[in-house]
Structure 1
């Protein structure tokens, strides 16, 4: 993706990623985990788990609010971890939902702003009330899935 992003580190399985947000509130450690939650039709299904790394043990705090002035850079970094995750995991679906409706809306804004680039690698679907369909402008979704092309 063309957006500025932070450098990140990956664990040996390329499933846990760590990086640091740097802004007016200092350096804030972030973590992104891909947790396998199932298997369907030949695809592994992973939950994208993201937040501040407050405990140092790769457990994201989903409700912390950093307000570090770098939202777009943080979201671009999370998106970059999906591509890095793809290096070791070839046939997968990523499920993403914010811890709150406001966070889910924030993720949707990031997806919509970069949809053309995202769709070079993934099919993106929005989910409402358990029903999924191709993401469309003007509809607020409860969650998202990205299927590797």
Structure 2
């Protein structure tokens, strides 16, 4: 992607033992958001339920709370670097899928509003998405399911995979 991104640091999955009882943390990254409201550490996790052997994974991210050792995926930083944060997360997702070409990554916002925001950003930068990446959107109305991403449809989540 050609949008500005933050530098990420790969973390050890074993650092998240609290999650490991029910989730397999496949990879974890951290980076810092720096903007008008200060500096915040963000974490990106690619996970799947423990014991689940399929190639379906979940992409999650949020602001790291060091005291609680948890991610807050609801907080709004309003730090002026939203596109840079999303470009960083998109790059991690793309790298994961290139390394694991049979995997699919599921992503949705922590709120309906946030999912719509992600959808607007995907639409806005769709021309930057590599040709070998498939983007599908989930439509839960009428149990439609996943369909190829296109503008003008309200999606409830997204599924990314390689072609």
Give the TM-score band, short-chain normalised: 0.7 to 0.9
Relative distance call for 1:59 and 1:89 in structure 2 (3 A) is farther
Distance 2:115 2:124 in 1: 14
CA distance in 2, matches of 1:114, 1:52: 24
- In structure 2, list runs of 5 or more residues that go unmatched: 14-25
CA distance in 1, matches of 2:97, 2:67: 25
Q: Is structure 2 residue 118 aligned with structure 1 residue 107?
A: yes
Distance 1:74 1:56, change over 3 A: farther
Instruction: Assess, with a 3 A threshold, how the Cα gap between structure 1 residues 127 and 27 changes in structure 2: closer, same or farther.
Output: same
| Residues 1:23 and 2:35 are matched in the alignment | yes
TM-score by length of 2: 0.81
Pick closer, same or farther for the CA change 1:134–1:52 going to 2, 3 Å: same
* 1:91-130 per-position Cα deviation (integer Å, ceiling 9, x unaligned): 2000000000111011111211222332423111110115
Is 19-28 or 109-118 further displaced after alignment? 109-118
**What is the match of residue 161 of structure 2?**
147
Which of 112, 128, 133 is residue 139 of structure 2 equivalent to? Answer: 128
Please report the TM-score for the alignment, with normalisation by the length of structure 1: 0.88
Q: Which of the pair has more CA radius of gyration?
A: 2
What's the RMSD between the two structures over aligned residues?
2.0
Contact 1:95–1:144 (Cα < 8 Å) also in 2? yes
Match of 1:91 in 2: 102
